[in-house]
Amino acid sequence: MKLTRQRLEQLLEKFQGLKVTVVGDFYLDRYISGSMESISREAAVPVVRIQSDVYSPGAAGNTACNLSSMGAEVFAVSVLGDDLSADIMRKELGKRGVNTDNLISIATRHTPTFNKIYASSYHGRMQQVGRFDQENDSPIGSEAESRVIEVLDSLSSECAGIIAADYAEIPGTGVAAKPILQKVAALTRTKDLISTGDSRDRIGEFCDFSVLVPNDYEAAMAAGVYRPHESKHISEETVLVAGRELCEITRCQTLMITRAERGMTVFSRGGRPIDVPTTPCTGEVDATGAGDTVTAAIALSIAAGADVIEAAELANLAAGTTVKKLGTTGWPTPSEILSAFDCLG
């Protein structure tokens, strides 16, 4: 590992108060848990007695919470609905230290919300028994795009970096529309900002960013080299071809392809691809949200002055702490990251 403990401490100290904007799709995750005690008299469906009802910011919201947990000052920028979910989103982000002044509400939009219902029966294990999603089925529109661009212009004078997070489940309906991506790229050039891009399906459209952080599947799909039989484990050869192609397509300064337990492969302009192994992780793990942790940690590390290998190693340490937080989307703290480093021996 290139990182020393002293260097890790220096970087984590620089994280504190570093200002970062997150623009993209803020989803609200709702987890309803209870016990199934009977069948309804009105229909042949189970009755779940609610024992807990918990909300958590998801998608770009999870990225924002990761940044805040590591010590950054975070500004959330998105387009929400004018609804109860938007009120809850602001409250939940605020509880986690994220600035919500630039969340725009529009009456014709929904605040994307995933309602997940978990239940157990007769002392059995808890399992998901239902899910109800609320999303949008149309673009945010030119007026909303202009408002987001104005906000990004305003925040760019005080922020060290911008993360564009594209998580829309329905194509063409998300906040990271093309004009907004172009604005983020322009701010990279004119304001000397670190721009970081993360997208489930459109990473090939994130052009002229500082850093892109797709997983191996997303990179292979965007580069047009995906092979269906590789869906579980994308081969080394495919990752290398996808990385080279994606660097050409997007003109990014750095491409960091995450590969789950196999770590990352880092592509930089003019350099050879470098593999960065993941840190060992034993016992039971929950990988939910770990990709958001990686994106947040990379963005903060590079904004704090780390080189790309240091950033990858720090991100691996951060993700290693969150996957150990079972049953919840966890966020790493600087002390947890240091502890993870110390456990490497």
Active-site annotation, residues: 292
| Count of CB atoms situated within 10 Å of the CB of 145 | 18
Q: What φ, ψ does residue 54 adopt, rounded to 5°?
A: -120, 140
Partnered with residue 134 across adjacent β-strands are 113
Partnered with residue 29 across adjacent β-strands are 56, 114
Q: Which among 180, 189, 179 has a CA at the least distance from the CA of 209?
A: 189
CB 239 within 8 A of CB 222: no
80-to-15, 110, 313 alpha-carbon distances in Å:
28, 6, 35
Q: Which among 255, 265, 267, 315 has a CA at the least distance from the CA of 291?
A: 315
Measured in whole angstroms, the distance separating CA 309 from the mean position of its chain's CA atoms is 20
Q: What φ, ψ does residue 166 adopt, rounded to 5°?
A: -105, 110
Partnered with residue 116 across adjacent β-strands are 31, 131
Residues 126, 58, 160, 183: is their CA dihedral positive or negative? Answer: positive
Residue 54 C-beta-side C-alpha neighbours within 13 Å: 11
Classify burial at 135, counting beta carbons within 10 Å of its beta carbon; exposed 0-12, middle 13-18, buried 19 or more. Answer: middle
